Amino acid sequence: MNPFAQIVSSIKRRISSSSQSPMGMPPEPEHLETGVARNWDINPKDFPWFDQPNALELLEKRRSAEHLSDEDYNLLRKWATDGYCVVSGIVPDELLDTMMLEIDQLWIADRVCEGLDFHDLKVGPNDAPIKLTHAEVLALETTERFAARDKSNWRIHSFQEYSPSAKAIFYDAELIRLTSLIFGYPSIPEATINFMYGSAQNAHQDMSVFHVFPPNYIIGCWIACEDISPDSGPLMFYPESHREPLFSEFKDYPQTNLRTASPELTQAYTSYVEELTRKYERHLFHAKKGDIFLWHGQLLHGGSEIKNPKLTRKSYVIHYFPPEMNVGPHMKGPFNW
C-alpha cells in the first residue's frame, strides 16, 4: 500500500470505528461509467455536517466523540462559522523553493514535459493570451520565450505529475488529515494550479466551477509560495458567504455549472455574484510564505486588483474531495473548458 493510501485508510478506520460519532456518513457514491448522464437528486440532508442547521451542535458532539484537540476544534468552528480557515507551518520553505525552481527550469528545459500546458501566454506584443504546450513554449526563440514568460499572467495545471516537490506537497499527510477532518470523511487531493502572478479573477464559488455531488464536498487550498505583496493582487474572499445556496439557475446541478453553461447563463451567474458581494465584507489574504488558506466550496473568493503588474504572487492551489464526489468525468458536454 502506498503512503497516500495508508493515510486515507487510517482516517477512514478512525471515522468508521467511532460508534459515538454524531455525523451520518455521506451517501455512498454510485460507481458510474464516465460520460454517462443521469438525473441528480439534491437533498440538503446529504450536505456535509458543517452545512447542516445544527452544525455547531454537531461539532460539540464531534469534540467529545473524536477527542478533538483545542486546535482542531477551533479550526472546525472557524470553518463552520466563516467558511474558511488559515494554517501555517505545514509545508517547509525549502520544498516551496524547490518547486518554484522546478517551474523556472521549465523555460530552459532540454526535455519536453508531455501533457503540460501553459495557460494565458501572450507571445506577440498585441496577441491575445493563448494556451501553449510545453513543446510549443520550448520551440519559441529564446528572447521571445522569456518575453512571454515575463509579460504574461500565466499558470500551469497538474504540475505534481512532473515535479517531485509539487507531488510531495500534493500528498502532504497533514493537509490530507486537515481536509479529512473538515469533511469528516477521507479526502483526496486533485486539480492543482500553479500561479506566478495574481489572477485578478472575479469573485466566484468553486461549486460553480467543479461538478461536486453531494454538493459542497470540496475544499480549496491556496498555498503562498512567497511573501505576498499588497500590490500584487492578493487573494480576496468574503467571510460567511459560504452560507449562500447554489445558484438557482443551475437547475440540474452538477450537470450544469459554469463549465457547461450557455453564455447567457454564465452572464446571469456573473451578475448574481456581483450582487452577492455587496452583502459581505471583502477581505484580502496578506499571506506570508507557507501560509495556507482553506476555503468552502461556496465561499466567494477571487483575485484582487493588481496594482503593480511586475510583482509576482507565487502560489500553489490544490482542491480536495472525498472519493468519487468529484463527478466531473460523469458530466455530458459540450464543455466551456
In whole angstroms, give the CA distance from residue 45 to residue 186: 19
CA 161 distance to own-chain centroid: 17
* pLDDT (tens place) for every residue of the chain, 337 residues total: 444 455 445 544 444 444 334 454 555 545 445 445 566 899 999 999 999 999 999 999 999 999 999 999 999 999 999 999 999 999 999 999 999 999 999 999 999 999 999 999 999 888 899 999 999 999 999 999 999 999 999 999 999 999 999 999 999 999 999 999 999 999 999 999 999 999 999 999 999 999 999 999 999 999 999 999 999 999 999 999 999 999 999 999 999 999 999 999 999 999 999 999 999 999 999 999 999 999 999 999 999 999 999 999 999 999 999 999 999 999 999 999 9
C-alpha cell at 198: 495574481
In whole angstroms, give the CA distance from residue 321 to residue 316: 17
Three-state SS at 96: helix
Query: Given 2.40.100.10, 3.40.50.620, 3.40.50.720, 2.60.120.620, which CATH number is that of 3-7+82-94+158-330?
Result: 2.60.120.620
User: Taking the domains of the chain in order of start, what are their residue ranges?
Assistant: 3-7+82-94+158-330
19 burial via Cβ count (<10 Å: 0-12, 13-18, 19+): exposed
